[in-house]
Amino acid sequence: MNVGVIGAGSWGIALTVLLNKNGSKVTVWSKFEDEVKMLSEKREYVDKLPGVKIPKTVDFTTDLEATVKNNEVLIMAVPSTFVRGTAHLMKDYVKDGQIIVNVAKGIEENTLMTLSDIIEEEIPQAKVAVMCGPTHAEEVGRGIPTTIVVGAREQRTAKLIQDLFMNETFRVYTSPDVLGMEIGSSLKNVVALAAGIADGLGYGDNTKAALITRGIAEISRLGIKMGGKAETFAGLTGIGDLIVTCASMHSRNRRAGILIGQGKTMKEAMDEVKMVVEGVYSAKAAMQLARKYEVELPIIEQVNEILFNDKPAAEAVRDLMIRDKKIEIGDGFEQ
């Protein structure tokens, strides 16, 4: 197929290399002329994806209209904060029924909309799908075995995307639970910030395991209340994505958290990571959703306190530990 990748960041480039290997003709759009020139000449994103070579058959352009009109499937790979603006620019060029696959993760703070909802609002004529799971661009670009999930309302749309991406190193599952997938993939970034903060404070494996397991409990509580399916949060886009993001140094959210745990401000941490730290943008939205759906998110609440109210990280951990006593599993006690 002819595929247009909207966004030339590390994830967009990794998927471009994968799609090219699978036989698709890929065009990558960026709004930055210097980025297009650099990628066209060097055939490698040295700063963001070193060592991943981009075949010469891949085209780079700043022409959004041509990219949208000349490709059957579009991959939306811009950071979450730019999804609405980019979709708005694309809307007049998208054909009825054209497939747009969103691969960014996040929740819009002022509307509490998921990214697929934003794209559908801006481009109602498109068929919108999402793709997420435990994936780092650095590994996908190098062909390391990876699994991921495509979510779509129509099974045939999901299967088309599955066929487009799947190969011997990139296994693709399908799911109709688009909402659950997006909630899991967005909020795991906030928990990953907490995991990084714990690392920066010098805590150990016990703390990391607690944050991952109690973190998925928080994500599941909210996601199920919003209409997501429990099995989604126990799968690749739930616990799977959370594990990889909390445990890997490829994770920009964990790296930013480590710096915050070591005493840097949110802005200093984001500047040092030099990439968009999606968890910072999802944290406030998560707490607004928690209030709307009357769900407790104690870990995510403390991350917000650290990020936006200058609460010392060690104090936030202490407050988590001395909360009211709770039952993990309540049914089955003998009376």
Task: State the catalytic residues.
Answer: 188
DSSP state at residue 167: B
**Which region holds residue 143: left if phi is over 0, alpha if psi is between -120 and 50, else beta?**
left
Note whether 240 and 177 are within 8 A (CB): no
Cα–Cα nearest to 77, from 182, 3, 7, 164: 7
Determine the longest span between alpha carbons in the chain, in angstroms: 73
Type of residue at 207: T
Residues in CB range of 98: below 8 A, 6 or more apart = 68, 72, 73, 74, 125, 126, 127
Note whether 16 and 26 are within 8 A (CB): yes
Tell me how far apart the terminal alpha carbons of the chain are, to the nearest angstrom. Answer: 63
CA distance 48 to 26: 19
DSSP 259-289: HHHTT--HHHHHHHH-S--HHHHHHHHHHHH
Tokens of 36: 């297009």
Note whether 3 and 26 are within 8 A (CB): yes
H-state helical runs in the chain: 10-21, 33-42, 64-69, 83-90, 115-122, 137-140, 155-165, 178-200, 205-226, 230-233, 241-247, 252-261, 266-273, 278-293, 298-309, 313-321
CA distance 88 to 74: 14
